[in-house]
Amino acid sequence: MWFTRKGAINAAEGELGIIPGSMGAKSYIVRGKGNPQSFCSCSHGAGRVMSRSAAKKQFDSDDVEAQTRGIECRKDSGVVDEIPVAYKDIDQVMAHQHDLVEVVHTLRQFLCIKG
């Protein structure tokens, strides 16, 4: 079984892929529905709502600690730009592409390796 994780996920009919959330959110294993209106593709992740520089200005490592409690990951100043609140809500992202992919499995985040 092969999974893809790259730019736009190939959502050709029957193709499996993974759509990750932020370092503090769940991810999804999906099966493409082959929708030609999306060129048989779908989103490749949650996507940012805040730039890296804005996140660094607004948050610190204490905020990262609070937002990733229960997840084994770096929580230092070097990953503040990856704070979960800087990303879109992955559940909303998935809801917007229900016509592109079928959720096969939901993965709960418990470990995140960054840089």
Whether residue 19 is contained in a domain is answered as yes
Whether residue 114 is contained in a domain is answered as no
**C-alpha span between 98 and 35 (Å, rounded):** 11
**C-alpha span between 36 and 60 (Å, rounded):** 43
Does residue 62 surpass a pLDDT of 90? Answer: yes
Question: How many folded domains does the chain comprise?
Answer: 1
Segments forming the whole domain that contains residue 22? 9-107
Q: Across the strands, what pairs with 83? A: none
Whether residue 52 is contained in a domain is answered as yes
Write out the catalytic residue numbers.
44
Over the stretch 5-29, which tens digit does the pLDDT of each residue have?
565 678 999 999 999 999 889 999 9
Q: What is the pTM of this model?
A: 0.85
Q: Which of 49, 51, 42 is nearest to 6 (CA)?
A: 42
Mean per-residue pLDDT of the chain: 91
Whether residue 3 is contained in a domain is answered as no
Whether residue 113 is contained in a domain is answered as no
pLDDT band at 31 (very low <50, low <70, confident <90, very high): very high
